[in-house]
Amino acid sequence: MPGKMLKSLLLSCGFILCSPVLATVADQQWEAWYGNISGMGFEINTQNTAGEVLTLTCGDGKMAVSYSVPAEDYRVSSTTGLAEPGLNINGKDYPLEEAAFTALKNAGDEGKIAVTSTNAAISKKFSAKGLAQALADVSWQDCINH
């Protein structure tokens, strides 16, 4: 009987210890971009040579952008007060709507992206290398419907 209890206890502890590990999903990598894409939306990131970080999020019926400068402990996003947030993709300004999503998918590996506020760039440029690959299986409808 003690052997069964010990075995049962070890199995239970193993499941408890392993469960959080199994629930954690490792970031995927697409050239300059990394993050997670699922049926519930996505959150993908990239860093430019200035050390700035761009995060694109899609879910809850909208696309959002976050811009941060970790070295300066600075972060702003389209959901927390960034005035008229948008993106400059290959030299053209876009609000965070379907046209911006399509432009991101089609930016090309040589493409450049900047975060904008009232159509003025607030970031240095980010590379689009790998972005088309990251978004290949995601549609605008996927973004706004989850």
At residue 23 the predicted structure's pLDDT band, cuts being 50, 70 and 90, is very low
On the question of pLDDT at 100 being above 90, the answer is yes
Over range 122-132, report the average pLDDT: 97
At 25 the pLDDT is 57
Match domain 26-144 to its CATH number in 2.60.40, 1.10.10, 1.10.260, 1.10.600: 2.60.40
Both tokens of 139, joined, read 């549609």
Taking the C-alpha atoms of residue 134 and residue 107, their distance in angstroms, rounded to an integer, is 12
At 21 the pLDDT is 39
Beta-carbon neighbour count of residue 52 at 10 Å? 22
**Which are the contacts of 15, defined by CB distance < 8 A and separation ≥ 6?**
none
